[in-house]
Copies of this chain bind each other. A is one copy, B any other.
Amino acid sequence: MSTEMNTLLPEPMTDAFNTEIETLGPCTVRSPLRYHRYVSDSDRALYSQNLNNVMAQIKAGHPLISFELAGPREMIFFDPSNVKAAIVTCGGLCPGLNDVIRAIVHELTYMYGVKHIKGVQYGYAGLNPNMGFPLIDLTPNTVKYIHEDGGTILGSSRGPQPIDVIVDTLYREEIRMLFTIGGDGTLKGAHAIRNEIERRGLKIAVIGVPKTIDNDINLVSRTFGFETAVGSALESLRCAHSEAEGAINGIGIVKLMGRNSGFVAAYAALASGDANFVLVPEVPFEFDGPNGFLSHLEKRISERHHALVVVAEGAGQNLFSEPTGVDRSGNRKLADIGLLVKQRVGDYFTRLGLEHSVKYIDPSYMIRSVPATADDGVFCLFLGQQAAHAGMAGKTGLLVGLWNDVFTHIPIEAAIQHRKHIEPKGILWMSVLESTGQPERMVNESIPAAGA
């Protein structure tokens, strides 16, 4: 399921982004697959499902925005008998990494007959010989049971490596397809690698499989691991709810992932049904004042004597005065809103002189390092297969996504331009407001309304 039903949202009326996919050259090799129906490059999925929108575009003479379909091509670019592939996983852990690795290895080996697949250790660092991590062999045997485990058998790392060194390595190792599984930073790196490859006139395909536990990649309905993460987060919420109910004016606070978007927090809150407040990056809030969070929390506590607060890590960053710098992936470092909420809540009730008990849970890594659920596992399997098809067809500079239930090819460039966010007027956030009973706005008068 998509993180947010977009039925109510206006569709872009212009081709706001390029959706053309590049290829390394003409496809002259007949695919060894036994598929009956191949996908053609002219098969495309509409960006918009909205009938009125589509008709208006046509009427206005605008082209319809659409994405190239993923899937097996009848004619492919690489000769399976002598092409060498490599897989790299970057950034933080996410449920399903091993599933994607396994799917790519299986598809390339069993279906295409590719004989040489290398695993890059520890992210892009493994493509920098100075780091000292040799490439390892990946075969169906080495990946047989890895989908049952969390983490990534390849290891991962954050941060950039010199692009020219990476391309040197690819060239020297005769890698012709590089599968990069990672988030925003990784995709930016993949984009730079692809540019350098093109500059040198090499024939190396760069295919991205988007990874973000926050499920906030643009033009992609769903990213792997999100469903699993929501399930894990739900367990934290259940614990925090038990803790809150078990204490006099007990307040459970759970900090969840979500740097720029609060999808994990929102979904986990909806799944639990016990959350009373959900704080996300998309909806500003204030602690103080008559319409501030603390005032509303006090009201809840005085009525029910326990409360459950869910806070996404990227929420309320405007409430910190000091700058935080950036981390090695180039992401802005976040101030710890979870601890701030914990402290402010404790201080507030202490000042009120009200007996209370704050129970703070930061499940952190426990949400992202578990094995994928069955459904996420199958999704990863499909993603890996599509990535393999794209690579064999010599496509490059793209990522494999899911859009309205079909697998598509998205130019990396288009995907990294924006992030998806919770729409404060959309069905998801309305459901959260309804489920929690929290007010639509927890800011005081002088501040403009959320989304206004």
Contact = CB atoms under 8 A, between A and B. Distances in A.
Interface of A: 1-2, 5-8, 34-39, 42-46, 49-52, 54-55, 58, 64, 66, 69-71, 93, 102, 106-107, 110-111, 122, 125, 131, 133, 144-145, 147, 149-152, 155-157, 221-222, 227, 230-231, 233-236, 238-243, 245-248, 250, 267-268, 270-271, 273, 355, 357, 359-366, 369-370, 373-375, 377-379, 381-382, 385, 402, 404-407, 425-427, 430-431, 434-435, 437, 440
Given A37-B426, A359-B365, 5 more contacts: A6-B406, A106-B435, A240-B365, A382-B431, A385-B427
A231 B364 CA distance: 19
B366 A111 contact: no
Contact of A365 (B71, B243, B378): B243
A147 B273 contact: yes
B382 A5 contact: yes
Given A45-B50, A404-B405, A247 B7 contact: no
A402 to B, nearest CB: 7
B374 A271 contact: yes
A373 B272 CA distance: 11
Contacts of A39: 7-8
B434 A110 contact: yes
Contact of A5 (B245, B361, B406, B437): B406
A2 B381 contact: no
Contacts of A246: 93, 151-152, 155-156, 369
B106 A150 contact: no
A248 B155 contact: yes
The complex is assembled from copies of this chain, and their number is 4
A45 to B, nearest CB: 5
B405 A1 contact: yes
Contacts of A243: 93, 151, 365, 369
Given A42-B52, A156-B246, A434 B35 contact: no
Contacts of A111: 434
Contacts of A42: 52
Given A157-B247, A374-B267, A50 B54 contact: no
A280 to B, nearest CB: 16
A366 B236 contact: yes
A234 B374 CA distance: 7
A406 B49 contact: yes
12 contacts: A7-B69, A43-B51, A44-B52, A150-B238, A150-B239, A151-B245, A152-B246, A155-B245, A227-B227, A231-B373, A238-B369, A382-B431
A186 to B, nearest CB: 14
Contact of A51 (B46, B152, B271): B46
For the complex of A and B, list the 10 residue pairs with the smallest distance between their C-beta atoms, beginning with the closest. Answer: A151-B242, A44-B51, A271-B374, A242-B369, A239-B369, A231-B374, A36-B425, A404-B404, A2-B405, A150-B242
A125 B356 CA distance: 13
Contact of A402 (B1, B231, B379): B1
A152 B10 CA distance: 38
Contacts of A373: 227, 231, 373, 375
A3 B409 CA distance: 20
A407 B5 contact: yes
B54 A385 contact: no
A8 B71 contact: yes
Contacts of A54: 46, 54, 64
Contact of A374 (B2, B248, B268): B268
A107 B430 CA distance: 11
B427 A71 contact: yes
Nearest to A93: B246
Contact of A361 (B7, B155, B357, B364): B364
